Structure 1
Amino acid sequence: MLDVDRGRVLAYRVMAHGLEREAGDVADLAVLDLGVQDTPSGSARLALAARSATPPAGDPEGLALVWTFRGAPHLHRIADLPGLSTALWPLSDADATARIATTSIKEGARLGLAAFTAAAEAMRAVVTAPRPRGEVSTEVTARIPASLTYDCASCGARHVSGALFQQVGLPAGVLVRPGTSPAVLAPIEGRPGVPRRAEGTAALAEAYLRLHGPATPAEVASFIGTTQRDLVRLLPPSDPFLQARDRALLVPDKARHAKVWKMIAKPGALLVDGEIEGVWRARKAGRARLEITVTPFQPLPARVRDAVLDEAGRVAAVRGATDVRVLYDG
């Protein structure tokens, strides 16, 4: 195990964050890999100035202000926005619910990914030109399920949950005009469609570790705005993750080694939140259906079973099947 003291961690972070002012161009700063939060308004420019030998006089070129991590406004490289949109998309229904589960839309949050999709598509349809935030909120509210809106005591109107509204800004292809109050929202030039699935989330975790490491999984998840316990994968036999020779680290219970690393007819591995929690096998059942049998090491909660079904669909698609059935052995 790597042993580092506090002084080394802080020295590493100072360098990783570019506080030595060695970057030639503001856009080259590593902190922009995760964006720079602009709360309160104007603080992002100050953060960039603290890292640049020649801070820009006005708004830096090639950057845009967008609601991203946890729905907060961040400055990002415009070129990074398409990838960031899919990387920040919820990983599952359970993840989506956790991100927006507030007392104001407790029932609506259970819609999971459908809530994000409905709100993002509504905002995209509404913001086709620069418009004040209030107008956008009113029109989005009218286009989404009522369960995603609530009666606001402070303004006396019914409107979309703020937690959901701001988290779908980037997926909707919407940016915030810097220095506007109330905020003015505008479409991102060349914006892609609303994401259909999360892609590239792991790259965000890697960027966090480069800038803030060492860190625990819970700390990384908290920054992204998700939960630590939301990673389910069906790894194929001989997956690179299973090739490490420290098998006792991967699976501490040695009695399970023979199940995971069989010499003949190797199974795949069920990965849940970083732990191998079972094995799985697949077989064709007719021309179009794939049957996946999962043998868990211990009972699986409903949210994991739901995620397994999602992963099974991905496996089926890769293997050319149009239908999939998940069975449990044990």
Structure 2
Amino acid sequence: MIERQHVRRYRVQVQQLDREHGTIADTAVLDLGVQDTGPDGALWALEARGVDTAGLGAAAEHHGDLVWLWTLRGAPHCYRRADAAQVAAAVAPWSESDASKRIFDASKPLKDADIPVLDALDAVAGQMRTIVKEPMVKGELSTRLHEVMPEPYQRYCRSCQAVHLYEMPFRLSAVQAGLELVPDTSPPVLQPMPEFTVADAYEDRLDPVRAYLHLLGPATHKQVAEYVDAPVREVKAHWPEDAVEVQVDGETRWMLEADVPALQDASASGTRLLGPYDLYLQARDRSTLVADPAKVKALWPVLGRPGAVLLDGEIACLWRPRKSGKKFTVAVEPWRDLEAPERKTIEAEAEKLAAFRGVPLTGLDFS
């Protein structure tokens, strides 16, 4: 029987949130991908794991060590550039039914036109490869695709007041076309990866099911399926042979057999300001991280997510950045009484965040 606190401590350790120094090569979360949403996205997540990210953003060389791709759930994720070809293979839909689920309502007009979804994704990727030969803004690529793709691939967009490709086929096809996202661009800019070909196979560590169980386990089939955005039966069909059952507060879950000793012996220390989409907060068992339903709603609202302050393996506060002109403050909402030393460690992390953003910290507001 494993208690939830053991799960939280294990995830802190395996995700390396308790280390002070690390490299891109040895940062485990890059195997599953680090979601890059908001100003405190992928690079801040790496900073929280001890990686010095200076020069790894938009100013980095084209052949830098990191690459940004649209992958799982159509979200932008950061990976090691050396893994890009294998990542493209690892995140591709496993079957026709899987592909249909991942593109949501875009699957219906394709099916009505007797176009297999997998074939449709290949067709979109092929056109993208033909069109994008140099950095191109997403809107321009969308316009070019609208000109060459038939009607079942397209829809009328009310917000744009235009007809263009469904969003998920567009995003999921980009990596298969060998297109990377230029970091820190809005609207997104895509460019071809040099000499890119999707790999025929991929290392076990890059398998999304296996990586989820390692980094966010113990987990159920449903939790993994929700993260990958695939049907549960597909996830079960790709379940690792070395996954074993464990009981977490009476619920049957699975994790990799080699990770069980680390789960049983896990401990956690230190303070981190986690961005709203940090992998630690992406687990699909939110009640494991936060037991109080009201606090769950506060940490994961539908819009405008805050960040979380991790104190010795427990989420102790919410935080939000406040920037006005040259002033940058961090507003902290404690969920319990904080000792003076704990406040000092939070202030130190806020200083790191300000330095990461390239601005001085002008205040820390505990409200």
1:84 to 67, 84, 87: 87
Q: Aligned residue for 1:108? A: 110
1:34 to 32, 35, 42: 32
Q: Aligned residue for 2:214? A: 210
**3-state SS, counterpart of residue 134 of structure 2:** coil
Moved more, 23-32 or 209-218: 23-32
Q: Judging changes above 3 Å, is the alpha-carbon distance between structure 1 residues 190 and 23 closer, same or farther for their aligned structure 2 residues?
A: farther
Q: Aligned residue for 1:128? A: 133
2: distance between equivalents of 1:163 and 1:58? 31
Structure with more contact order per residue of length (Cα contacts < 8 Å, sep ≥ 6) = 2
Q: Aligned residue for 2:11? A: 13
From the CA coordinates, give the structure whose radius of gyration is larger.
1
Q: How far has the Cα of 1:231 moved from its partner?
A: 6.3
AA matched with 1:98: K
Q: How many positions carry a matched residue from both structures?
A: 231
Q: How far has the Cα of 1:201 moved from its partner?
A: 10
**2:163 is the counterpart of 1:158:** yes
1:205-226 Cα deviation digits (max 9, x unpaired) = 1111110000011111221221
Q: Aligned residue for 2:356? A: none
2: distance between equivalents of 1:9 and 1:172? 38
AA matched with 1:80: D
**3-state SS, counterpart of residue 64 of structure 1:** strand
TM-score norm. by structure 1 comes to 0.64
Q: Aligned residue for 2:255? A: none
Determine if contact 1:87/1:201 at 8 Å carries over to the other structure: no
AA matched with 1:18: Q
Q: How far has the Cα of 1:86 moved from its partner?
A: 1.2
Determine if contact 2:209/2:235 at 8 Å carries over to the other structure: no
Determine if contact 2:205/2:211 at 8 Å carries over to the other structure: no
Q: Aligned residue for 2:338? A: none
Q: How far has the Cα of 1:122 moved from its partner?
A: 1.3
1:114-155 Cα deviation digits (max 9, x unpaired) = 121111111111111111110111112223231111011122
2: distance between equivalents of 1:115 and 1:38? 27
**1:1-330 → structure 2 map (5 Å cutoff):** 3-52=1-50, 55-59=52-56, 61-102=64-105, 106-108=108-110, 111-192=116-197, 203-230=207-234
Q: Aligned residue for 1:265? A: none
Q: Judging changes above 3 Å, is the alpha-carbon distance between structure 1 residues 138 and 197 closer, same or farther for their aligned structure 2 residues?
A: farther
Q: Aligned residue for 1:292? A: none
Q: Judging changes above 3 Å, is the alpha-carbon distance between structure 1 residues 196 and 207 closer, same or farther for their aligned structure 2 residues?
A: closer
AA matched with 1:180: T
In structure 2, list runs of 5 or more residues that go unmatched.
58-63, 242-367
Determine if contact 1:87/1:200 at 8 Å carries over to the other structure: no
1: distance between equivalents of 2:78 and 2:19? 19
TM-score norm. by structure 2 comes to 0.58
Seq. identity, %: 38
Determine if contact 1:86/1:200 at 8 Å carries over to the other structure: no
Q: How far has the Cα of 1:22 moved from its partner?
A: 5.0
2: distance between equivalents of 1:199 and 1:208? 14
In structure 1, list runs of 5 or more residues that go unmatched.
234-240, 242-330
Q: How far has the Cα of 1:111 moved from its partner?
A: 2.6
AA matched with 2:4: R
**3-state SS, counterpart of residue 176 of structure 2:** coil
